[in-house]
Each structure stands twice: as C-alpha cells, then as structure tokens.
Chain A
Amino acid sequence: MTAVALHCDVLVLGAGPAGMAAAAAARESGAEVVCVDLFASPGGQYHMQPPSASGAFGATSQVVEGRAAERRCRELGVRFLERTEVFWAEPGFATFANQAGSPVAIRSDAMVVASGAMERAVPFKGWTLPGVMTAGGAQRLIKASNAAPGRNVVLAGSGPFLLAVANTFGTAGLKLDFYVEMQRPRLSALSLLARNPGRLAEAAKLMRGLRRSGARVLPGHQVVEALGDGRLEAVRIAPLDASGRPRMHDSFTVENIDVLCVGYGFRPVIDVTSLLHAAHHFDDALGGWVCSVDEAQATTVPGLFAAGEATGIGGAVPARLSGRLAGLHAAAFTGRRGVQGEVASLRGQLRGARNFAAGLARLFPFPGHLIEQLGEDETICRCEDVKVSDISAAISDGAADAFGVKMWTRAGMGPCQGRICGTALSEMLARRLGQPVSDTGYNRPHMPLRPVPLAVADAALGLMSELEEG
C-alpha cells in the first residue's frame, strides 16, 4: 500500500463553518491550503447537505450558505480531502490520515484545528437500548439521509439545540410525540433576545418548527428511563422539583415509543490539539474542556491555531468569525500576506457572538448532577460495557482521575476513546471525590486517535522521515 504525500502551507482539520472560513481566509492570503473532513461532503453538522436538493432542506439557509462556502473554497483552490480521518499528528507539522481506506501523509507549516463538537452525552437508565440516540444523530438521519428516525418519537434534554432539532422534525413534516425540556421558560430568555434582535427571527422560526412537529411540550420535565426488551418501547418522564431533581412519584410512562432522541448540548473535540500539547482549560459554559487560544486564535503551540467549537461551544456565528481569524493568522505565520485590516472588526464581531452564546449557555446550564441518578447496574462506558459499579470499585481502590479509572476499568479505552463516556465519568468522579470536575482531567490521546487498518497506518507513518526533510 502506498501513501499519498501532500505538502501545504496551512492544513485545516474540519470542513464545518469554522474550517471552511479558515481555509478560504488562508487561501485568499496566498497560502496553499488542504482541508480534511470525515464526511463525504464539506459542511460539518451545521451545513450538512441533503441527498437531493429538491427535499425539504434544499433551500434552507444552512444548506445554501454551506454550498456557497464550499464553492468559494473550491474557486479559491482549497484542496478538500473528504472521508478523511486524522489518526496521528506530529508538531511542526506532519499529519497522518486514513482517507476511506487509503493512507495520506500531510506536511504543513501551520495547522488550523476546526474539529467541531460532539454530544455531551449524559447516561441514564436504559440509554443503551437500540432506539435511544442523540438529538444530533436524529437530525443527521433526517437532513443527510432523508430518513425518519422513528414512528413515535420523544425528543428530550436541554438547550437551544433541542429546539433546532424539533424544528428539523417540523420542517421535514415529521411528527414528534413529546418535547421534554428540563428548563422552564424564563424572562431572561426574552431579555437576551431583546438585546440581540438579530437572533429573534431565528428563535421565532425554531418555535414555529416545534409547533409544526405537533409535539406535546413538557418544560421542567426529564426522561428518567428508557424501557424495552431488546429495543426501545416506552419512556418514563418525570416533572422536576425546584432544585431540578425528578419527582419520581409523579412520573409517568409513555408506551409505544420507538425512538428517543436525547441532547444536553455539546463538548469540544480536542483530541488533535491535546495530542499536539496545546494548553486547554475547563469551562462548563463552553462545553467542558476547550482548547485555549489568544486573540489571533493561536494556541500555545507555535503554528497551531484553533477555531470554532474546539475553542468553546458557541454555534455557527462565532465559528465562522474565529475560523476566518485563524485562517488569516495561520497564513501570516507561514509568511503569506495574511493579516489585513479586517482583523479588528472580526474580533469585535466575535466578542459579540461569544457574548450571545454565553447568555444562551446561562439559560441552559449543563445538568451534570443527572449522573447522580445513574444506578450501580447501569452502563457508563458503552464501548467496553463498564458499569457504574465497576467505577465505584475503582474509586474505592484509589482511582482519583479519568486516567486512573480507565486503567482500572477499561472505561474510555474502547474505539470511541472516552469521547462518549468522558463527560459522565468526570462528573461522577468529581461528585464522589468532592472535587471540581476540572481536577478529574480528561483522556489523553493515544496512537491511533481513531481505529485505522494497520496497513494504512504503516504506509502513512512510513512517510514521516520524508515529510520532516521536506
């Protein structure tokens, strides 16, 4: 097997709003740019493209803007590598990837990590039953595959993204049975929108979508259990008391539910930035562990920039702005013309967009306390079938951080590398040990970042010395 070797000034990881903005800005500045992405077409989750343009989403702004951003990048000469997953990277930079079974090795002078976000999963009773999926996964089924997630569907969790997914159901003409949101409507939501009138129309559109889905809306409630034999058949819903705890004696079961979509927001994807030893910090309102950047979107590693959700959850607007800033500064780092007059304006807009995102995050605080409801016999690490009781035993034996628990129990050692169970493990450890969540650390990345066929890894890594000379 022979690897493809590529050389460029700026390598951009991720082709979502941040990645495409970074790629275009770097290319406009005269840099040679390669942009890699896991999916079959650029866009990320936000600009996800439908299988055919004639469907319900073909003319939505998210799809149209995504196509325009991709076209702009291609016209500028950005080289996209689709269906490509990075499994290793060396500082300076040599990056090794698997392109749908073919090895790729890339030498670049600068790198922009726009790796986006993933669901901040919260385990609960019955969450491993087939038919229980993330809200983002359900949205992807509808938008990217034109498929109905189920016949009788409950959407539950907390946060603005839940409303976006309800709107996806409504726009697609799909019915939702229940919309279960932990928070109750608050006046502060109105005042946040009053201070950001530009976002009012967007909020109204999402509310209309929720209405179109026909969902029975239950604010101040939580799905406490998924029930079924071999697949989801019913869900148990409980109202929450003033402290946010479920009132179990008032809970009720909804039968004949075949799909439950759950979402509590997102966490940044930081495996490449942590692999390259950039500094990270913990910020609960930004999704947990985030890659630290300065005003130029530069990380603590020279030549390594980060943008979008990897630097804190905030949505597409800050992603685009921070992506453009990162692209301009990355190009300048490689000696290209780079930074021009627009930087001050971009920074101002980015501060505004981040402030709005922070206001939204305050309305929907991450319910880390839910982990206390998880019984000893429930699964916490899906990859390795590790139960809460295994974690309890490890803690009694002296495990005191995420890495210790992993060594004791294998939680976080499977193919997802702790990306699904990481949040829950940290919350559980912190609560059991009486320490801040940040003290529990996070899973350090290991070779390979993602499962990769040995022959692919061998062929790509075989080019390492050639790239370093190059």
Chain B
Amino acid sequence: MNARVTVRINGEAFAAEPGASVASLVHAARRSFRQSPRLKEPRGLFCGMGVCFECLVSVDGQPVRACITPVREGMSVEVQP
C-alpha cells in the first residue's frame, strides 16, 4: 500500500490513496456532491469522466469536477450540504 494523503471534506479529514480522484473520496464519504440549481435536489457522481458536471465541488476555493481532479496532500474540498 502506498503512503496515504490527507484530504479535508467540509473540514473533516479523510485518508486517500495518491492518484485517486477527489470524486472517489466524496462518493464514499457522502454520495451527494451538490444540489441541483432550481429544484435543489441532491445530486451524486454520475458520468464519472468529466462530461456531466454533477460532481462539481470547490477545491481550495476553485470550482472543479471532482472526477477529473486527483487528490493532493492538504487539499481542502468544500461540498454543498
């Protein structure tokens, strides 16, 4: 097993495998990534490969697709409640 990196999701620390996507971590931790724009429905990881934008989260203040963003030590991820 490789050394783990630590990533914070809404302040809570999670250990992750280097090279894994932010999406894999958020999906395992809470399933829901964001609220839909009008109906405010919870939405989760859907296409998982950069097409659908359902996994939009904030990483260190920048909006990114979690599925195409690899984890990095000390990364801070904010997910809509």
Give B25-81 interface residues, CB cut-off 8 Å to A. 27-28, 31-33, 36-39, 41-54, 56, 62, 67-68, 70
B15 within 8 A of A: no
Which residues of chain B have C-beta atoms less than 8 A from A45's C-beta?
49
Closest residue on chain A to residue B30 by CB atoms: A130
How distant is the Cα of A132 from the Cα of B41 in the complex, in angstroms?
14
- 26 CB contacts below 8 A, A to B, read A39-B50, A39-B68, A51-B2, A51-B17, A51-B18, A129-B42, A129-B44, A130-B42, A133-B48, A137-B48, A138-B48, A140-B21, A140-B67, A141-B48, A145-B20, A146-B20, A146-B24, A230-B42, A231-B31, A379-B39, A382-B43, A382-B46, A415-B53, A416-B53, A420-B47, A420-B51
Which residue on B lies nearest to A421, using beta carbons?
Answer: B52
Q: Are B37 and A231 in contact (CB under 8 A)?
A: no
Which A residues between 244 and 275 are near B, CB-CB below 8 angstroms? 258
Provide the residues of chain A in CB contact with B43, threshold 8 Å.
Answer: 128, 130, 382
Give the A-B pair count, Cβ closer than 8 A: 127
Q: Which 9 A-B residue pairings sit nearest by Cβ, starting from the closest?
A: A137-B48, A130-B44, A51-B19, A145-B24, A147-B24, A145-B20, A385-B38, A415-B53, A130-B31
The residue in chain A whose Cβ has the minimal distance to the Cβ of B44 is A130
Q: What is the CA–CA distance of A385 and B40 in the complex, to the nearest angstrom?
A: 9
Residue of B nearest to A118 (CB): B51
Beyond known contacts A130-B45, A137-B49: 6 more, CB 8 A cutoff:
A101-B62, A128-B36, A132-B44, A140-B48, A146-B24, A384-B37
Check A420 against B31 for contact (C-beta < 8 Å): no
A136 to B49, Cβ gap below 8 A?
yes
Is A119 part of the contact surface with B, judged by Cβ < 8 Å?
A: yes
Query: In this complex, what residue of B is CB-closest to A410?
Result: B38
B: contact size bracket = 35 or more
Q: When the two chains form the complex, which single residue of B2, B24, B49, B54 contacts A382, counting CB atoms closer than 8 Å?
A: B54
A451 at the interface (CB under 8 A from B): yes
Asked if A38 lies at the interface with its beta carbon under 8 angstroms from chain B, I say yes
With contacts A130-B42, A145-B21, A146-B17 taken as known, whether A38 is within 8 angstroms of B50 at the C-beta atoms is yes
Measured CA separation A145–B25 after assembly (Å): 9
Residues of chain A in range 211-233 having any CB-CB distance to chain B below 8 Å: 230-231
